[in-house]
Amino acid sequence: MAEMVRKSSADEILNHWILAVSCILLIITGFAFLFQMESVGSVFGGFNTMKTVHNWGGVIFSLSLLYSMRHYLKDAFEYDADDRQWFKVAGGYLSKNVKVPPMGKYNPGQKLYYLAILLAGIAISLSGFGIWLMKENATVMLLSHLVHNVAFIIFVIAVPVHIYLSTLANPGTFRIMVSGTLPLETAKKKYPKWMKAAGKM
């Protein structure tokens, strides 16, 4: 049997699923509020219950987002010369004729994706609590609605791209979010600097 290496710990896998499921639930219910989609509302037993689900889903999402810092924040702030070169060749996504530099545990696209989710996530959570709990303050309501909608647009663009890149576009990646492991040979090819640092090559 192929030797495996662990990329994600058990608590990272669990937290990612909590983050993903709560985020997708919030996006679906958020869309339904925005466009007054009665059919989606009826799945939750009406808009009032859907609002309760959205609010408490937001609490779960916020806690999960805070916990995710433990897994990704340090890496997301570290960029070396190879990472800078990765930006210059656009990660190799736009042309087959460029040389993609060797990568560590996460590529710069993933690191920036994390920072975007973290910042937009903090903004959408704080503004969500503003809308939920500070109804009597007109200024807070106005600002919160603005921030909530702008952050929502970021999520609606970034999350589908992330799901596509983690599944169809890069076969074999999805299993990391299920089992946390991948074959050593694959890891050596995809993340050579991480494997070198771990003493595996």
Query: Any long-range contacts for 49-55 (C-beta under 8 Å, 24+ apart)?
Result: 53/25, 53/29, 54/25, 54/26, 54/29, 54/30, 55/128, 55/132
Q: Which residue among 5, 16, 26, 30 contacts ligand HEM (CB under 6 A)?
A: 16
Footprint (CB under 6 A) of ligand HEM, residues 43-72:
68, 72
- Looking at the Cβ atoms of 41 and 180, the one nearer to ligand HEM is 180
Residue 181 is a binding residue for ligand HEM (CB under 6 A): no
Residue 103 is a binding residue for ligand HEM (CB under 6 A): no
Residue type, 201: M
Cα angle 81-77-167, degrees, rounded to a multiple of 5: 90
Residue 117 is a binding residue for ligand HEM (CB under 6 A): yes
Residue 174 is a binding residue for ligand HEM (CB under 6 A): yes
Q: Which residue among 86, 114, 152, 194 contacts ligand HEM (CB under 6 A)?
A: 114
Residue 13 is a binding residue for ligand HEM (CB under 6 A): no
Residue 152 is a binding residue for ligand HEM (CB under 6 A): no
Q: Which residue among 5, 103, 151, 176 contacts ligand HEM (CB under 6 A)?
A: 176
First CA to last CA distance, the chain? 19
Q: Min. distance of Cβ 23 from ligand HEM in angstroms?
A: 4
Give the CA count within 13 Å in the CB-facing half-sphere of 187: 24
Chain centroid, CA 65 distance in Å: 9
